[in-house]
């Protein structure tokens, strides 16, 4: 539990309260991220590192419907509905097992009231892991306006921008008259989407990547979150536009050797590392499908307009140099989701693959001395699995409902299992996509539901393949071979 212990950091009128109020407990908060992920990539905030020492939060409590006369200001004015009972910056300090105000002062504490409706909310304001604040990205500290609306300044995001993982909470309400003084649960969600990118050489001859850029992405915008009601209205993303290149490296100059059997070389586009164990991730404003899926290809030249969202790559192979403009797959980039794009060169064609992964995913080999993964027996409760083209497939049927998958996982105890997917990711979602490994619950069996997005038009079949992982400590491991026994599982949503 996180206790609000010290004084307000902002200027406010002093309060006069009914004496009975002073005997009530202090208000406590419990912070939760909307996901449970690993800590490999910097700047990514997730559930377990949300409470890192020094992490800062802006917290509000709007108090309404208090008993007449129980709270007044020292100047004699009365409390008005929606006045701020809490309006402070706080930071985490594990030595006290509590959130402390930041900067620390003394003389004022926040207790529960005898009456009234408390509406709690806030946002992440300081990342102690990387030492960056909301003001480093937005140019100033974020604050509510007089209408209780949070509006961020307009900002252009690139891979070189301060990677401040802005998170906002929903509203948690508590009726003080019910006497519930337990910790208030605040749930935080990511404002941005995130992407990473790689180039892979699966050709029988070397490939030199001379330069690469990402253009046409709507990387400039501002967001609004309306906290004036009982539920959060937003976020909404406004005035989105392309402002220069999201990423550009004109002197990459990396050579990927020819494939050796099934072994290929890969480069992390954002930092130039060869054969990385994890990829550098960059925050980006969420993108609409219409933006990242250009349709105005020139039939004569076979190219797209420079205003489209594209990957532009210049490369050399077998003594010749080429420039190709590659469009992104036809779906949007959602807030709170990470997308990894892999540009794979083969002897016949260039392919762009995409994976929707946990917020901070990285693959690692598990060494002999580390915890092994004991898991398996992936199956589906309401569908028969059909073997097709070397894959195990399930085809969605409205009469059968959403596919419900399950598998057992016994170790590492206390770790986290994850389910990701790649393919036509805009047409599917998975809930839950992660959970705690606990062999004492359901004999180690866990369940997840695949939810097709039936509202989208499908002129042809859409499909995804499943990918499984395990988080152990600060690393995440590929667990697909254990859970699927090495098989590829494809979920198919037929054309409509």
Mean pLDDT, rounded, of the chain: 81
**pLDDT at residue 268, as a whole number:** 95
Tell me, yes or no, whether 44 and 170 share the same domain: yes
Model pLDDT for residues 250-303, shown as the tens digit of each residue: 989 999 999 998 899 999 999 999 999 888 999 999 998 777 765 555 444 445
Asked if residue 179 and residue 204 are part of one domain, the reply reads no
Buried/exposed code over 6-35 (b: 16+ C-beta within 10 A; e: otherwise): bebbeeeeeeebeeebeeeeebbbebebbb
Q: Is 371 exposed, middle or buried (0-12, 13-18, 19+ CB in 10 A)?
A: middle
Residues 6+ apart with CB under 8 A from 459: 495
Does residue 266 sit in the same domain as residue 334?
A: yes
Say yes or no: 151 and 199 in one domain: no
Q: Does 278 fall in a domain? A: yes
Query: For position 364, what pLDDT does the model report?
Result: 36
63 and 96 housed in the same domain: yes
Domain span holding position 242: 195-229+237-357
The residue among 357, 388, 422 that closes a domain is: 357
Q: What is the pLDDT of residues 451-480, one digit of tens each?
A: 999 988 888 999 999 999 888 766 678 888
pLDDT above 80 (res 201)? yes
Residues 103 and 54 in one domain: yes
Asked if 169 and 202 sit in the same domain, the reply is no
56 within a domain of the structure (yes/no): yes
* 418-439 average pLDDT score: 87
Task: For the full predicted model, state whether its pTM sits above 0.85.
Answer: no
| pLDDT (tens digit per residue) in 160-189 | 999 999 999 889 899 999 988 877 878 888
Residue 302 domain-assigned?
yes
Q: Are residues 32 and 148 in the same domain?
A: yes
Residue 364 lies in a domain: no
Residue pointed to by tokens 């499909």: 463
Query: How many domains does the structure of the chain reveal?
Result: 3
Same domain? For 73 and 100 the reply is yes
Q: Is residue 368 part of a domain?
A: no
Q: Based on the domain organization, do 343 and 390 belong to the same domain?
A: no
CATH number, position 461: 2.60.40.10
Claim to verify: residue 177 and residue 40 sit in the same structural domain: yes
Residues 287 and 221 in one domain: yes
- Of all residues in the chain, the percent with pLDDT exceeding 90 is 41
Q: Which of 306, 323, 357 is the last residue of a domain?
A: 357
> How is 43-89 classified by DSSP, letter by letter?
T---TTTTT-TT-EEEEEEEEESPPTTSEEETTSPBP-TTEEEEEEE
């Amino acid at each position: 539990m996180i206790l609000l212990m010290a004084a307000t950091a902002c200027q406010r009128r002093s309060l006069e309260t009914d004496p009975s109020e002073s005997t009530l407990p202090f208000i406590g908060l419990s912070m939760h991220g909307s996901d449970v992920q690993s800590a490999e990539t910097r700047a990514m905030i997730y559930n377990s590192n949300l409470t890192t020492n020094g992490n800062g939060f802006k917290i509000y409590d709007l108090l309404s419907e208090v008993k007449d006369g129980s709270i007044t200001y020292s100047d004699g004015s009365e409390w008005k509905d929606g006045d701020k009972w809490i309006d402070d910056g706080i930071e985490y300090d594990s030595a006290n097992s509590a959130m402390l105000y930041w900067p620390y002062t003394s003389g004022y504490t926040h207790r529960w009231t005898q009456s009234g409706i408390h509406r709690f909310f806030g946002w992440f304001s300081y990342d102690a892991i990387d030492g960056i604040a909301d003001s480093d990205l937005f140019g100033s500290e974020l604050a509510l306006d007089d209408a209780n609306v949070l509006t961020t300044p307009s900002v252009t995001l690139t891979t070189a921008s301060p990677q401040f993982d802005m998170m906002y909470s929903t509203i948690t309400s508590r009726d003080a008259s019910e006497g519930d003084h337990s910790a208030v649960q605040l749930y935080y969600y990511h404002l941005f989407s995130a992407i990473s990118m790689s180039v892979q050489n699966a050709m029988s001859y070397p490939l030199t990547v001379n330069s690469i850029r990402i253009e046409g992405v709507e990387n400039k915008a501002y967001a609004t979150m309306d906290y004036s009601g009982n539920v959060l209205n937003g976020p909404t993303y406004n005035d989105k536009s392309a402002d220069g290149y999201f990423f550009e490296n004109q002197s990459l100059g990396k050579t990927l050797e020819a494939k050796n059997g099934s072994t290929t070389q890969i480069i992390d586009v954002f930092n130039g590392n060869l054969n990385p164990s994890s990829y550098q991730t960059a925050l980006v404003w969420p993108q609409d499908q219409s933006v990242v899926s250009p349709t105005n290809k020139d039939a004569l030249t076979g190219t797209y307009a420079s205003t489209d969202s594209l990957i532009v790559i210049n490369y050399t192979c077998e003594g010749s140099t080429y420039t190709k403009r590659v469009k992104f797959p036809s779906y949007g980039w959602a807030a709170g989701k990470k997308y990894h794009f892999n540009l794979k060169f083969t002897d016949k064609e260039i392919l762009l693959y995409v994976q929707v992964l946990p917020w901070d995913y990285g693959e690692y080999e598990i060494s002999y001395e580390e915890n092994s993964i004991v898991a398996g027996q992936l199956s589906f409760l309401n569908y028969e699995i059909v073997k097709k083209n070397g894959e195990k497939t399930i085809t969605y049927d409205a009469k059968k409902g959403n596919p419900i998958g399950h598998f057992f996982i016994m170790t590492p105890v206390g770790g986290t299992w994850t389910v990701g997917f790649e393919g036509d990711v805009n047409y599917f979602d998975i809930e839950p996509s992660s959970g705690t490994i606990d062999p004492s619950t359901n004999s180690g069996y866990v369940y997840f539901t695949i939810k097709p997005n039936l509202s989208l038009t499908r002129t042809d079949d859409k499909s995804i393949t499943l990918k499984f992982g395990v988080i152990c400590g600060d690393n995440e491991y590929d667990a697909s071979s254990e859970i699927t026994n090495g098989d590829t599982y494809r979920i198919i949503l037929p054309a409509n």
